[in-house]
A and B are shown apart, each in its own frame.
Chain A
Amino acid sequence: MAALNQGDRIPELRVTPDKYLPHRYAGASGDFNPIHIDEQFARQVGLPRNILHGLWTMAQVARAQTEAAGGDPRALRRLAVQFRGMGVPEEEIVVSGTVRERDGDRVVVATEAHQDGSGIVRNAEAELVLG
């Protein structure tokens, strides 16, 4: 488990979604919006290509928190995010975060996800309770 005192950075999570990840996430989540799984459709509506599901990216932010807390899913009590910009497959995503406050076992982390230098999840805040 990371130290997680005020001002500490959580371990960075780096993940590169492969070309077919949005299809697998569509099946797993039930969100088959064609902007995520149909490259041609996405271009027709003005997107650069098919884009990642925002909630998949949020799940990466969540995973970075539970991994920092030692892998126990019960540690994550709250996660609030704002979606900005669009994530795309086949480019690395980096989730980072800094402990904003610590009070006993309760930790608040300011966190975000970047891809190619721009934020795709911004102003996110996670609350963890360490076991």
Chain B
Amino acid sequence: MGVSTAVVGKEYPATSYEVGLEKIREYANAVGQAEPVHHDRGAARAAGFRDVVAPPMFAVVYSAPALGPAILDPEVGIDFAAMVHGGQEFVWGEPVCAGDEITTRARVREIYQRDDKGFYVFESVSTNQHGDEVVRGTWTNIVRGV
């Protein structure tokens, strides 16, 4: 038993996500972001954005689909019934606005064991249609009883 580190560094196919104005509004409403820059095109442009701007944590909407195949990868070997989302980090770059086309690539960054817990750490890097980095995510899943 225990964790296998053989897949550290493995990369997964890039996913792409086209950012919709109504999706930003829906997300902003669900998380309680009432600022006009997340809802109104005129307010966003007046504040210097190309279009309605996504709240920072909208990063999960466009980047999570790239993580799915990594977390489900049998070579990684996560036991879902015993998995919890233990930690999350985002480092933001260029703002994401309605109309952007975001590409996200995920890889296995680190796997380690502490006591009977396995730590599976994935990294995602998202870039926009101009090649600018918009967010870098570090996703830590903890599996008990490895």
Kindly supply a per-residue 1/0 record for chain A positions 74-100, scoring 1 wherever the CB is within 8 Å of any chain B CB and 0 otherwise.
101111111100000000000000000
Contacts of A62 in B (CB 8 A): 55-57
Contacts of B61 in A (CB 8 A): 28-30
Question: How many inter-chain contacts with C-beta < 8 Å in the A-B complex?
Answer: 87
CB distance from A86 to the nearest CB of B (A): 9
Alpha-carbon separation in the docked complex, A30 to B67 (Å): 13
Residue of B with least CB distance to A28:
B30
CB distance from B109 to the nearest CB of A (A): 14
A83-B86 in contact (CB<8A): yes
Residue of B with least CB distance to A127:
B91
CB distance from B114 to the nearest CB of A (A): 14
Alpha-carbon separation in the docked complex, A15 to B30 (Å): 12
A78-B30 in contact (CB<8A): no
Max chain B CB contacts within 10 Å: which of A63, A71, A73, A79? A73
Question: With an 8 A cutoff between CB atoms, is B31 at the interface?
Answer: yes
Residue of A with least CB distance to B60:
A55
A28-B26 in contact (CB<8A): yes
In chain B, positions 101-145 with a C-beta closer than 8 Å to chain A are 138
Q: Which of A25, A54, A71, A78 contacts B92 (CB 8 A)?
A: A78
Also in contact, A74 and B30, with CB within 8 A (given A30-B64, A58-B57, A83-B86): no
Question: With an 8 A cutoff between CB atoms, is B12 at the interface?
Answer: no
Contacts of B35 in A (CB 8 A): 71, 73
